[in-house]
Amino acid sequence: MNKTAVKQKLSELKGFENSRIELEQYLTPAELAADIVYTCYMQGHKTVVDLGTGTGILAIGADLLNMDVTAVEVDRDALSTAEENAAKVGASPNFVRKDVTSFNGKFDAVVMNPPFNVQSDEGLKFWRKALEIGDNVYGLAGKGFSTRLKRLCDEYNHELIAREAYKIGLPASYEFHTEESKSTPVDLYVTRRKK
C-alpha cells in the first residue's frame, strides 16, 4: 500500500467521541499520521509500539503497512473506538489497556502523539518510556522542546536525528483555544539509539 492509500484509509477513521481534556486527547491528522508510519516503513522497522494510541490512527497506519504493531492506551472509550476503527479497515494491531508507565517491551520503533504538557510529568513520562523501549522514536511535541529532548536523549543514549515542523488543527472541543490557535505548530522529532 502506498502513502496516499494509507492516508485515504486513515482519513476514514473515527476520532474521539468525547475528548478528555485531562488526557490531552486529540487526533493526529491523517496526512501527518501517514507520513510518520510511512517513514517507519521505509526505514524497515518491523516491530512498532504506539504509546497513547487514542482512536488508533498511528497503530492502524503501521498495521496497514504490515508492521507488527502494539498499541497502548489508558482510556477505555478511546480504545473501543480504536478497535472499531481497526475492524473497519481490516487492521489488527495488538491493543493493550495500560498506563504507558507500566508498559514494558522492546521495539524497533515507537510512534506517538503524546500529551504536550512537559511542565508536568504527563508528556515527559511518554518520552522517557519511548526512549527506554524504542530503538527509534517518532514523537510529536509542542514548540521549543528540542533542548529538553536533547538532554533526555543523552540520559537514554539516544541521538536526535531529525525535527520536522507541521501544523495541526485542534478540535473545537478545546474551548479554551482561540480561533487562531486552532492551528497549532508542532514538531515531529526523530531519535535513534546510539550503537
Round to whole Å and give the CA distance between 51 and 73. 7
Query: Which H or E run includes 6?
Result: helix 3-10
Q: How would you classify the pairing of strands 94-97 and 158-169?
A: unpaired
Among 6, 10, 13, 28, binds ligand SAH (CB under 6 A): 28
In the sheet with 68-73, reading across from the earlier edge strand, the strands are 94-97, 68-73, 47-51, 107-112, 134-142, 183-193, 158-169
**Which C-beta is closer to ligand SAH: that of 104 or that of 195?**
104
**Which C-beta is closer to ligand SAH: that of 120 or that of 195?**
120
Beta strands in the chain (DSSP E): 47-51, 68-73, 94-97, 107-112, 134-142, 158-169, 183-193
113 near ligand SAH (CB under 6 A): yes
C-alpha cell at 24: 490531552
Q: Which of residues 145-184 bind ligand SAH (CB under 6 A)?
A: none
Interface characters, 50-89, with ligand SAH (x: CB under 6 A): --xxx--xx-------------xxxx--x-----------
95 near ligand SAH (CB under 6 A): no
Among 61, 93, 115, 123, binds ligand SAH (CB under 6 A): 115
Among 6, 10, 27, 60, binds ligand SAH (CB under 6 A): 27
What phi and psi, each to the nearest 5 degrees, are found at residue 84?
Answer: -60, -45
Q: How many residues bind ligand SAH (CB under 6 A)?
A: 21
Among 40, 49, 100, 190, binds ligand SAH (CB under 6 A): 100
Round to whole Å and give the CA distance between 127 and 153. 9
Q: Which residues bind ligand SAH (CB under 6 A)?
A: 23-28, 52-54, 57-58, 72-75, 78, 99-100, 113-115
